[in-house]
Amino acid sequence: MDRRLFFMLNRARAVLYRHADSGVEQAIGVPAAQVSLLFALDKFPQASMQELGEVLGLNSSAMTGLVQRMKTAKLIERVVSQEDARVAHLRMTNKGRDKMQAAKPLLVKLNKQLVEGFTTEEIDTVLKFLNTVHTRFSQPKGDTE
């Protein structure tokens, strides 16, 4: 068993993402990155583009490209804030909401595949590890204590 955690996490992330991306896009015609943004918008409807990028782990240029592709596909739209005309928020369109709903059973199936063969306690340990990694390494840039 390979015990190089960083290597194995990266490898697992890559293979899982490719699997999810091809499955979701094949089933509903939308790539996994776009589905991820739809779910983020659903959970954080008033979030700025920068905040949504942080949720998804995307830098501003990647986020800009993702948003542009999704606007072109009519999954989201930009809405100027009524409080401050300099601020724009993203809003899911009805088409975007339909695609998000269509993705839900696919993600439920994927999660079932991920936990298959593991006990509840083993999954709790994996989740504790992943949450610890997220917390430990999500500190603001420049904070290296």
- Give residue-wise pLDDT tens across range 64-79: 999 999 999 999 998 8
Q: Is residue 62 part of a domain?
A: yes
Q: Are the C-beta atoms of 25 and 31 separated by less than 8 Å?
A: yes
93 burial (CB, 10 Å; 0-12 / 13-18 / 19+) is middle
Q: Which of 98, 82, 80, 100 is nearest to 90 (CA)?
A: 80
Q: Are the C-beta atoms of 100 and 92 separated by less than 8 Å?
A: yes
pLDDT, tens only, 69-109: 999 999 999 888 888 888 778 999 999 999 999 999 999 99
Q: Are the C-beta atoms of 38 and 55 separated by less than 8 Å?
A: no
Structural Rg of the chain based on CA atoms: 17
Question: E strands of the chain, at which residues?
Answer: 76-80, 88-92
Where residue 16 sits, what CATH number does that domain have?
A: 1.10.10.10
Q: Is residue 23 part of a domain?
A: yes
Tell me the two tokens of residue 2.
């390979």
Q: Residue 51: give the domain boundaries.
A: 5-102
Q: pTM of whole model > 0.85? A: no
Q: Is residue 120 part of a domain?
A: no
> What is the number of domains present in the chain?
1
